[in-house]
Structure 1
Amino acid sequence: MTSEPAIVERRAAPAAASAVRPWLAVVAAPVLLAAALVLSLAVGARFIPFDEVVASLFGAGDQNVLNIVGELRVTRTVNAVVCGVALGGAGVLMQALTRNPIADPGMLGVSAGASFGVVAGLSTFGAIGVGGSIWFALAGAALASSVIFWFAGSRFAAASPVRLVLAGIAFSAILAGGSQALVLTNESVLDAFRFWRVGSLTARPVEEALPLLAFIAVGVVLALPLGPALNMMALGDDSAVSLGVRPGLVRALVLVAVTLLCGTATALAGPISFVGLVIPHLLRRLVGPDLRLVLPLSLFAAPVMLLLADTIGRVIGGGGEVQVGIVTAFIGGPLLIAYVTGRRRRGLS
């Protein structure tokens, strides 16, 4: 019987010539994350030297620096790391399970489902805080994930990755319309929703973000062991079954993991799109398609993207802020257009 590593090696063969050595990517990922963390704390409308940043983290130094770093930038940095881990892992899982290279929690409606759940909770119960909103976000994400994964297995979507994305965009629009209808009928919800809706890393203080790490941790623990099984499922369910994989169980675990990861990120920062699209593409180009490597690396690379996007938003916003969801849209939108138009030119749409 052919071993799973041998199968993965054959699948990765066409990209082997251009792939970065895995050990180099493993070493570079935490280094890049550390550099992005430093930039996030030091760079913004006002540049703060590194020694002053370190001092402020220990409660020393100038009071203005303490306010900027300790109260503002630390919150943004922690939220970016937490949401980046969640969205990067969810994007890899969705692309692997749907066998769709342009799947993304934002475009396929999972983030919109989580948003709808939060808005429904706010409209029904008022200010519910992050402790309450997380459960509504998870319920909405679970519903949306179930619909998308069901549709991904249909003949209509299986024939074309673009069809699944178009259906996901339509589904997102329906959910967004439902959210807007609930918001417009309740003025007390409108102000909180308006800022949170575009994706902001300042929506929740760090003390509210830290308890959500448990949901992210469970999602990551569920996701990481699924890499080998998803590698084999890429060959088709029949081949995967012959190699000892249980596709139904794998799909259920992916559904739970995506719900936990995407729902938590949305409850924390609002819907942030394109992170789950850009990071898996970048990593597959660098290290090949093996999910045993792509999935853990996404947990480092996605926070780097969010940290840099947030830093860029602060710099170009001057004294104000360009929300991170807007910056990631400017990065991911052109990539999606380039991919779709490239497929059409090759006659693959």
Structure 2
Amino acid sequence: MSLHTTRQKNSYRSRPLVASMILVIGAIVLILSIVSSILYGAADIDILTIWHSLSQFDPTQSSHQIIRNLRIPRGLAAALIGAALAVSGAIMQGMTRNALASPSIMGVTAGAGFTMAVAMAINPQPSSVMMMVWAFAGAGLGAGIVFGVGSISKSGLTPVKLALAGTAVTSMLSALSSGIAIHFNIAKDLSFWYAGGMASVQWIHVQLLAPVTITGFIISLFLGKSITVLNLGDDVAKGLGQQTIVVKVISIIVVLLLTGSAVSVAGTIGFIGLVIPHITRFLVGMSYRWIIPAAAILGALLLVLADTISRMINPPFETPVGTVTALVGVPFFLYLARKEGRGL
């Protein structure tokens, strides 16, 4: 057996022990991080007050109202959204075999932002349900245009063309969204979606977000083995008897569910879907049966911490959480782009 073949086989080995540790320890740290996000903010709250707000809720106390109606739903939503974006990125990278694939780069989030701009132009105060529906439609529109544009050339859809098409379509849809916002005088309302943030999250958002994201997670767990095989290449996957078209269609639907629901609540939070899957693969290996649940934990943890930090940078004002994730994601993206460019 050649050295290259041995290295290739080793690269696809999973590390179940490491993955199990990440799931257990990561879940514990995530719970502690959510508690920290409840404790710290414009008004710091002690742990005893949190306990009393849960066990002996007093609606006349502002601290109890803040905990129950603002910070708990915000922490839960941040965990769900971070997990959704990370899993979406992992599925997209595995399905396309493109290290630069993520919801924010492949036009999915820009498409959702575009349709939400249209929705707000039609009705300045759309309901949370309608915003989620528009976000799903826009996510599908953005992804469809990217894959369509990337497939036009004779040589077909390659990872590099997919990244270029995603960048071009994202820029186009973002420009159209800005134009709509200026023309219909909704730029201030739409700025939340551009920056990405959790400031306006309420229980209604968690109630809408939870069933959609949990459904997407469950389906993605069943897809883990198929995506691992698909990541070896279409020819290999077909040779092993896999229905590649079916797997790709279901994977795209899961990505649209997860990304659409996340963007409808928190706006365009970038780079979680790019960075977390790479970190997860480095830690647990190339088996998506482990990558998907581990990425969900790490993605949730990153966004909860980023949201907490965003509230502490310049209190009592909030820094957009998308800015905090970009500080981590942009250098990582440049590193990946340089690494991929060397392989061309």
Instruction: Normalising by structure 2, report the TM-score.
Output: 0.90
Q: Work out the number of aligned pairs and report it.
A: 336
In the alignment, structure 1 segments of 5+ residues that lack a partner are 1-8
Distance (whole Å) between structure 1 residues aligned to residue 242 and residue 89 of structure 2: 22
Letter in 1 for 2:122: T
Distance (whole Å) between structure 1 residues aligned to residue 297 and residue 264 of structure 2: 21
- Percent of aligned pairs with the same residue? 30
Question: Post-superposition shift, 1:91?
Answer: 0.7
Q: Paired residue for 1:124?
A: 122
Q: 2:260 aligns with which of 258, 263, 266?
A: 263
Deviates more, 1:51-60 or 1:333-342: 51-60
Q: CA RMSD in A?
A: 2.4
Once the two structures are superposed, what CA deviation does each residue of 1:246-292 show, in whole Å capped at 9, x if it has no partner? 00001110111111111111111111100101110111111111111
Query: Does the alignment pair 1:300 with 2:259?
Result: no
Distance (whole Å) between structure 1 residues aligned to residue 39 and residue 12 of structure 2: 38
The 8 Å contact of residues 196 and 203 in structure 1, kept in 2 or not, is answered as no
Match runs of 1:284-295 below 5 Å: 284-295=281-292
Distance (whole Å) between structure 2 residues aligned to residue 79 and residue 180 of structure 1: 27
Structure 1 residues 51 and 80, CA, compared in 2 at 3 Å: closer, same or farther? same
Distance (whole Å) between structure 1 residues aligned to residue 286 and residue 14 of structure 2: 13
Q: Paired residue for 1:199?
A: 196
Q: Paired residue for 2:110?
A: 112
Distance (whole Å) between structure 2 residues aligned to residue 255 and residue 14 of structure 1: 25
Q: Paired residue for 2:34?
A: 37
Query: Does the alignment pair 1:233 with 2:230?
Result: yes
Match runs of 1:169-188 below 5 Å: 169-187=167-185
Distance (whole Å) between structure 2 residues aligned to residue 186 and residue 166 of structure 1: 30
Match runs of 1:1-349 below 5 Å: 13-14=10-11, 21-60=18-57, 63-150=61-148, 155=155, 158=158, 160-161=159-160, 163-187=161-185, 189-344=186-341, 347-349=342-344
The 8 Å contact of residues 29 and 301 in structure 1, kept in 2 or not, is answered as yes
The 8 Å contact of residues 107 and 142 in structure 2, kept in 1 or not, is answered as yes
- 3-state SS of 1:119 partner: helix
Distance (whole Å) between structure 2 residues aligned to residue 238 and residue 166 of structure 1: 24
Q: Paired residue for 1:3?
A: none
Once the two structures are superposed, what CA deviation does each residue of 1:277-309 show, in whole Å capped at 9, x if it has no partner? 111011111111111100011221111100000
- 3-state SS of 1:21 partner: helix
The 8 Å contact of residues 34 and 76 in structure 2, kept in 1 or not, is answered as no
The 8 Å contact of residues 99 and 336 in structure 2, kept in 1 or not, is answered as no
The 8 Å contact of residues 275 and 302 in structure 1, kept in 2 or not, is answered as yes
Structure 1 residues 335 and 134, CA, compared in 2 at 3 Å: closer, same or farther? same
Once the two structures are superposed, what CA deviation does each residue of 1:20-43 show, in whole Å capped at 9, x if it has no partner? 633322322211211211111112
Distance (whole Å) between structure 2 residues aligned to residue 232 and residue 18 of structure 1: 17
Distance (whole Å) between structure 1 residues aligned to residue 63 and residue 321 of structure 2: 22
Structure 1 residues 59 and 196, CA, compared in 2 at 3 Å: closer, same or farther? farther
In the alignment, structure 2 segments of 5+ residues that lack a partner are 1-5
Distance (whole Å) between structure 1 residues aligned to residue 150 and residue 250 of structure 2: 16
Deviates more, 1:265-274 or 1:196-205: 196-205
Instruction: Normalising by structure 1, report the TM-score.
Output: 0.88
Distance (whole Å) between structure 1 residues aligned to residue 258 and residue 67 of structure 2: 27
Distance (whole Å) between structure 2 residues aligned to residue 117 and residue 39 of structure 1: 35
Letter in 1 for 2:343: L
Distance (whole Å) between structure 2 residues aligned to residue 260 and residue 304 of structure 1: 20
Distance (whole Å) between structure 2 residues aligned to residue 251 and residue 150 of structure 1: 15
Distance (whole Å) between structure 1 residues aligned to residue 219 and residue 231 of structure 2: 19
- 3-state SS of 2:313 partner: helix
Q: Paired residue for 2:3?
A: none
Deviates more, 1:267-276 or 1:74-83: 74-83
Question: Post-superposition shift, 1:167?
Answer: 2.5
Once the two structures are superposed, what CA deviation does each residue of 1:75-115 show, in whole Å capped at 9, x if it has no partner? 32122022112111111111111111121101221000011
Letter in 1 for 2:72: V
